[in-house]
A = this chain, B = another copy of it.
Amino acid sequence: MPQRAKKAGTAKIRSAAFRRIRADHSSELAEDYVELIADLIDEKGEARGSEVAMRLGVANATVVKTLKRLQDSGLVTQEPYRSIFLTGDGWKMAEDGRRKHKIVEGFLLALGISEETARIDSEGIEHHVSEETLRAMARFLARKGS
């Protein structure tokens, strides 16, 4: 029954895609946090929990809890009642996020999307694009931009 075999193969690939999406989702929050923290440090010299909470649109307490997990993962460090710092790994992740973000947002703008929408959509999309797709977007951008 080659039918069966073929279908099982397809199913496996499909499930791999969904697995990757679930994995992406766990890292997504972390990336958003570190990227935002990096922005705050660059913009204002320091990142406060309450500022992170405001920009992400969540409660203060949620940020505290999440930062604990990020600290356990070795992405940030923080003393109680003090501002937040990124570790080496944290900075690496933040830079990578910014890089992806810039490519995706620039690409959407090049496609003719409005600034508003480009900003919103790129925020959602950046965590789900493979390097291959990023390369294609960058290529498109380069051709268009020149």
Contact = CB atoms under 8 A, between A and B. Distances in A.
B119 A133 contact: no
A61 interface: no
A18 B123 contact: yes
B56 A123 contact: no
Instruction: Please list the 4 inter-chain residue pairs (A to B) with the smallest Cβ-Cβ separation, ordered nearest first.
Output: A124-B128, A15-B57, A17-B120, A17-B123
B15 A55 contact: yes
Interface stretch (A66-74, A86-94, A105-113): A105-113
Q: How many copies does the complex hold?
A: 2
A96 interface: no
B121 A128 contact: yes
Interface in A6-35: 11, 13-21, 24-25, 32
Given A123-B21, A125-B129, A57 B16 contact: yes
Given A16-B57, A18-B56, A121-B133, 12 more contacts: A13-B116, A14-B56, A17-B119, A18-B32, A20-B124, A21-B124, A111-B137, A113-B133, A117-B130, A121-B132, A124-B127, A124-B128
